[in-house]
Structure 1
Amino acid sequence: MRNFLDAKILAFQLLSPLHVGSHIEKYTPFEYFIHKEEIYFINENKLFSFLKERNLLSKYISEINIHGPKFNIFNFLKENLRDINAQLLKNISRYKAKIETDKNFLEIRPLIRDGMGVPYIPASTIKGLIRTAVLYKVLKSLKERAPQQFKTEILEKIKNFSKKDIKKREPFKWLINKWLQDFQIENKKNSPHTDWLRLIRVRDAYPVFSCTTRIYEIAVLSYNGSRWLEKENISIFLECIPPGSIYQFEISMDTMLIEKFKVSPKLKRVEDAYPRKIEEIFKALEEFSNDLCEEEQKVFTSCPSLKQWYKQTRSKESFCLGWGGGLLSKTIFLLLPEEVRKFIRNNLRHDRGEALAPKSRHIAKLKQKILPLGWAKWVHNGETIIKTSGYKIILNFQGDKFKLIKK
């Protein structure tokens, strides 16, 4: 493996369901069928070949024309074939997922997958997490060292943005431009060419071992001023990578480019807050994640199960990525006073007046508990992943990737 300052291969394990959206917005009943608590996503070419071999293609098309949106593929197969079994369904599908809900559903939001159908986590998702953590650390340093400057240059300017600009997320773009792109290199300055994120390269994250994805019901908890209540009739159903899954990726830092990057005079006060080593990136991420867990632990005082979950998670090397984390996990919202949070929320989304900002959270409803979305923790070479009375499964780094070995 290359020098630590140059590159590092890391692994993390999911603590809660993770969803990263696909270019396919949703699947409808025309595109899947359900059998014995599993959902099979159709491969149209395989399905058409199968139906053609059994002289059912014309009938299939006719039934679709008759029933329209109410057409059910599984019922059609059941009525026209003697036997429906898992192998048959597998032969006409791209992949399957397990269903982790008792609720009926029609539409499903699928996970992103690569060309081979493997659910992965794009490098852009990981870099987005790092960007937020580094920006948070820099501005938190400014807030602690120069509170008046933070108030003048951050809070007051945010409050001067128009509603139209806030809807376009201009305050967040402005913060990135001013605090992550205001460097100088050669003849270039204050542009994407001088973005701090140019210093790092991240590869897509792939599973250490294959696992079946899950379909979860995602509900919304809303705070009514005294307690958290689930909103009715607004559940969505997501395909997620389940808790326990382990992913790995490579991150590298361009140490030569670091030496060429020069901070502008405006950033001198917080120059030392910008990471110059890979390990410093993860210290920033740890600080951001711990503050996020602490905030959620306080907010969920009236929801003991989530309060306890965040309390336990804060003690781990944890972080949050993917869909469902909201403004708290994707922006510097934690650094803003309540009045500024409300100002942004009321103009960015729905005007909730003086209600808590943010007022709602997405949660995954498992059969025995509820969980926030997208939380994970770092796992390390030699760490025990599973332990029983007879054996244990250990994470082992071999060559250039992690593997699970049984001892």
Structure 2
Amino acid sequence: MVVSPESALKKPDFYQSKKILMTSPILHIGSSVSILNPFEYVQTDRKVYFPNQEALAKGLLAQGGRFFNDYIQAIEERQDITKLLKQAFGSEWWKAKDTQGCPIFPKEAVSQKLTSERITDLRPMIRNGMGQLFIPGSSIKGAIRTAVAYYLLKHADRFQLPASKRVSEIEEKLREKLGKINQHQQKFLDDELFMDSLFSEFHLTYQERNFPGKGPNTDFFRAIKITDSAPLLEGKIKTKKGQEIPVNIPVVAEVVVSSRFSDYLAKYKASIYTEMVRNVQTEFTITLDTEMLSWFTHKQGMKLPFNNLDELLQICQEFTQEQWDYEHDYWQEIKNNPQASGKNLDFNYIREFYEPEKCPYSLRLGWGSGMNGTTIGLCLDDELREDIRDTCGLKAPGFEAPKSRRTVMNTKGEIKFVPGWVKFKNLQD
């Protein structure tokens, strides 16, 4: 028996999925270790090496017990191991291998050094179990979740937010609580004030059964799955014109933390040496379970802000545009300072970066995205945002919040890059 195409059963289309190409000028996602010990990396004039600790221990042991003992001492005393490596493996120590032929300094654990300064207190980027740089799906999902929260609060009438969870009420409760809560309570205050209600106060109906409760099980973001990115492997791609462009370049850069004086003259605060990736190009997959999304009904009648992935990505774009506009205006006010504690704070490249009126990026992600990228702060009154910063962070009375910015220097010592801006392109279009 032959079944005609018209009468054949169709598989229910419960899922929407998009394979996304993510690109970024420069990016850093922090790891579980905020700062490396001096023995966990080795620097030369041009590169920074991150040894495979097990291979290094085996290699040193094979060279003689005293080298291994010196290594243990360096760990105990948190010392640099450059001299030890030269003694054990010679002048080209970075080519050394352990007794099984494994490189002590794997290719994926070598970064270009973008600064002539001696690196201290190095902040590493997250790696997967294979030691490869990558972007966790949880980082992408967290940034999208913030965008959705901002969007709901901004369009409260359209989505029928409960009166107690609208911006005016949130601001009033924040003013009441600031200064009266401890540091632990500060960390979870957003959950109490609005995040739990916006995302988790839902009835869940599945197969005609109602499941009450509150928490992860009734969080409508359960319907969204985001994979980790493909590893950020250094390589080259060809443009349509046949030009080769390097991508996923691991670098260690000097990140300048700056703010301003009362007359808007730029003020140097600190330098942070950070492992980052230049010219990011990777892929991840985002999936929406549309059937699961239909199970959620808000207890106070709030409407869901999206029904498909296109709407979700548009929400991200709107939130990103708000951040872009704010940053553009901030940098227009800042005056260059060529004599700022020995640094030339010339932000002309940064102002040029923010010149386009329409934001060319899809989201701001990871380290450096700041208060405006990781909270719904741009929804709040400016003075209240300052009070939150002064109470929960570093005090800066009389200055906008956030006050400081992070920008990245190139090899010439020019302030050239802003971290965290990423573009999404649907590879299935």
TM-score (norm 1): 0.82
Alignment of 1:241 onto 2:285: no
Structure 1 position 177, deviation (Å):
0.7
What is the aligned counterpart of 1:373 among 402, 412, 419?
A: 419
Q: What CA distance in whole angstroms lies between the structure 1 residues aligned with 2:71 and 2:285?
A: 50
Structure 1 45/159 Cα, relative in aligned 2: closer, same or farther at 3 Å?
Answer: same
The Cα shift of 1:287 comes to: 0.2
Q: CA deviation at 1:47?
A: 2.1
TM-fit CA distance, 1:225 = 2.6
Partner deviation per Cα, 1:332-383 (whole Å, 9 max, x = no partner): 11111111111211111123222211111122222333322211112354xx
* Match 1:354 to one of 349, 374, 398: 398
Tell me the SS of whatever aligns to 1:107. coil
In the other structure, the counterpart of 2:344 is none
How many Å apart are 1:203 and its aligned residue? 0.9
Alignment-derived partner of residue 196 in structure 2:
177
- Counterpart-to-counterpart distance in 1, 2:263 and 2:158: 31
**Displacement of 1:96:** 1.2
Contact 2:23 2:282 in 1 (8 A): yes
Task: Tell me what 1:263 maps to.
Answer: 298
Structure 1 residues not aligned, in runs of 5+? 382-396, 403-407
Which residue of structure 2 aligns with residue 101 of structure 1?
115
Matches within 5 A, 1:5-404: 6-15=16-25, 17-55=26-64, 57-59=65-67, 61-62=69-70, 65=73, 69=77, 71-79=79-87, 81-84=89-92, 86-88=94-96, 91-94=103-106, 95-142=109-156, 150-165=166-181, 167=183, 168-174=186-192, 175-185=194-204, 186-207=210-231, 209-210=233-234, 211-227=248-264, 229-232=266-269, 234-242=270-278, 244-267=279-302, 271=303, 274-303=305-334, 304-312=348-356, 314-367=358-411, 368-381=414-427
Contact kept, 8 Å, 2:407 with 2:415, in 1: the verdict is no
| 1:297/1:308 contact within 8 Å kept | no
Deviation (angstroms), 1:62? 4.3
Amino acid at match of 1:51: L
Residue equivalent to 1:387: none
- 1:252-301 Cα offsets, whole Å, 9 max, x none, are 1111112211123352xxx26x1110111101000000111001101111
Once the two structures are superposed, residues 137-196 of structure 1 have per-residue CA deviations (whole angstroms, 9 ceiling, x without a partner) of 110002789999545422212212242537423332222112222221123244322212
Secondary structure of the 1:324 match is: coil
State the secondary structure of the residue aligned to 2:120.
coil
Percent of residue pairs bearing the same amino acid type? 25
- Per the TM alignment, residue 5 of structure 1 is displaced from its structure 2 partner at its CA by 5.1
2:207 match: none
CA 1:189–1:50 in 2, change beyond 3 Å: closer, same or farther? closer
Q: C-alpha separation between the residues in 1 aligned to 2:300 and 2:75?
A: 68
Greater displacement, 149-158 / 322-331: 149-158
Distance change >3 Å, CA 87–CA 314, structure 1 → 2: farther
Identify if the C-alpha distance between structure 1 residues 341 and 251 changes in structure 2 by more than 3 Å, giving closer, same or farther.
same
Alpha-carbon distance in 2 for matches of 1:345, 1:130: 23
TM-score (normalizing by structure 2): 0.78
CA–CA distance in 1 between the matches of 2:74 and 2:417? 42
Aligned residues of 1:64 and 1:71 also touching (Cα < 8 A): no
Residue 104 of structure 1: SS of its match in structure 2? coil
Q: Distance in 2 between matches of 1:66 and 1:200?
A: 46
Higher share in helix: 1
| Aligned residue type for 2:390 | N
Query: Aligned AA for 1:6?
Result: Q
Question: CA 1:51–1:65 in structure 2 vs 1: closer, same or farther (change >3 Å)?
Answer: closer
Contact 2:56 2:104 in 1 (8 A): yes
State the aligned residue count: 374
Matched residue SS, 1:245: strand
Distance 1:298 1:79 in 2: 54
Matched-pair contact (CA < 8 Å) for 1:221–1:230: yes
Question: Which stretches in structure 2 are left out of the alignment for 5+ residues?
Answer: 1-11, 205-209, 235-247, 335-347
Cα 1:144–1:6 shift into 2, 3 Å: closer
